Amino acid sequence: MQKKVAIVQSNYIPWKGYFDLIRSVDAFVLYDDVQYTRSDWRNRNKIKTAQGEHWLSIAVQKKGRLGQLINEVQISDAGWAAAHWKTIEQSYRRAPCFAQMEGPIRALYEQAASLPGLSQVNHLFIAGLCQLLGIHTPLYRSEALGQVEGRNERLVHLCQALGASEYLSGPAASCYLDQAAFAASGIAVSYMSYAGYPEYRQVFGEFQHAVSVIDLLFNTGADAPAFLERHVA
């Protein structure tokens, strides 16, 4: 039986392409026992506002050992969830599907407010937003699947742990991925494309693809899954 797996670090309220990757595989691994990178997508993402694109960032503790792992990062601002929801509500309350999506997305923020770790928050949002997008791909945590040394060796191990026949990678990994190591383990490698997503009507300004998927949900509601379908000529 063929089984396709993707392995990616967790991001905060990711863009639609992240969810397209999840729905394109049979199992998705949140790869959070790797080094946390600052000024990245792990603890922040963008939404659209009347003043332009706006970063929603979760403040995290900067103390700790060098090489801190994503799943070790602790949140330092107890009020971040309420502040983020207030900004979201102000920005999207006039969006066509705000009334439809307000309840479930606000509930995610209410649940996230009590979680101490960034990885926990990201996992909560990713799982909850998958439900709103009609995505049922099982989510796994890499730390629960065992560890081996080496970047490529770890990826191969995670694929093997889930019985993968194919590894679907993000396009940026093509510069370092050792495809021979996967082939030696009987695992094919393919690369995700993020080209060809249709535009939809956004509340503010010119259309932008690279914003949080909540922008898609508030603007298109139950039709959001259709905008994850890529159309490449």
pLDDT reading at 61 higher than 70: yes
Is residue 119 situated within a structural domain?
Answer: yes
204 falls within a domain: yes
- Residue 187's domain comprises 4-228
Structural contact between residues 11 and 121, judged by C-beta atoms closer than 8 angstroms: no
In whole angstroms, what is the distance from residue 106 CA to residue 92 CA?
12
In this structure, the number of other CB atoms found within 10 A of the CB of residue 34 comes to: 16
- H helix or E strand, kind and range, residue 27: strand 27-30
Per-residue pLDDT at 206: 93
Residue 19 covered by a domain: yes
Is residue 173 scored above 90 in pLDDT?
no
pLDDT of 65: 58
For residues 24 and 138, give the distance between their C-alpha atoms in angstroms, rounded to a whole number: 12
Predicted structure pTM score? 0.96
For residue 233, is it within any domain?
A: no
Q: Nearest CA to 22 among 151, 147, 123? A: 123
The DSSP code for 6 is E
Average pLDDT over residues 52-63: 92
Element (H, E) at 54: strand 52-57
Question: Residue 70, CB half-sphere, CA atoms under 13 Å: how many?
Answer: 26
Among 38, 46, 43, smallest CA distance to 10 is for: 43
**Residue 163 φ/ψ region, left for φ over 0, alpha for ψ in the -120 to 50 degree band, beta for the rest:** left
Q: Is residue 13 part of a domain?
A: yes
Distance between start and end Cα atoms, the chain: 31
Token pair for 93: 């309350």
Quickly state the pLDDT bin for 176 (edges 50, 70, 90): confident
Cβ-contact 24, 168 below 8 angstroms: yes
pLDDT at residue 213 tops 70:
yes
Question: Residue 63 — pLDDT band, cuts 50, 70, 90?
Answer: low
Where do the DSSP E strands lie in 145-203? 166-169, 188-191
Shortest CA distance to 168 belongs to which of 194, 197, 195, 190?
Answer: 190
Number of domain units in the chain: 1
Domain-located, residue 203: yes
The pair of three-digit structure tokens given for residue 139, joined into one six-digit string: 């989510």
Considering the domain boundaries, does residue 182 fall inside one?
A: yes
Looking at residue 233, its pLDDT comes to 61
| CB proximity list for 65: less than 8 A, separation 6 or greater | none
